[in-house]
Amino acid sequence: MLTFFKKIFIWWNQETIGTKIKTLFFGKLVGSDVLGNKYYESKNGKRWVIYKGEIDASKIPVEWYSWIHFTSNKIEKNHELKKYDWQKPHKPNMTGTDDAYYPNKNKDVTKKKYKAWKN
């Protein structure tokens, strides 16, 4: 019962009932990416994505970024992008997690650079 209410009211949990109905009746599946996200388009040209797992806009890989933002690109035709050996795989935004980038990760940044004159 709780998951039913989550589907109705909590849009950040997954797609809502309204999005599910719109996707069923008006959406045409264009494709999916390696992360499992599915991309849809309606007859009047609207485009949307149904995320797999947690909803985060940074989970859209570069192959689909141009398509979802209506940017003309050679990738838009077949959604295949040649990957080179030196390219790292796509990662979502890691800000706020343990995997986030910290420039002074090895240095002790919590150490004060001054002494307080009052205790």
- DSSP letters for the chain: -HHHHHHHH-TTTS--HHHHHHHHHH-EEEEE-TT--EEEE-TTS-EEEE-SSS--GGGS-HHHHHHHTT---GGGGT---PPPTTPPPP----TTSTTS--TTSSS-TTS-SS--S--
Query: Which residue positions in the chain have pLDDT lower than 50?
Result: none
Q: Is 65 a member of any domain?
A: yes
Question: For position 119, what pLDDT does the model report?
Answer: 62
Give me the domain span that covers residue 60. Answer: 1-112
Give the model confidence (pLDDT) of 97-115 as tens digits. 888 877 766 665 566 677 7
- Return the pLDDT at 74: 57
Residue 14: the pLDDT is 66
119 located within any domain = no
What is the per-residue pLDDT for 68?
87
Do the domain assignments include residue 118? no
Count how many domains the chain has.
1
pTM for this prediction: 0.61
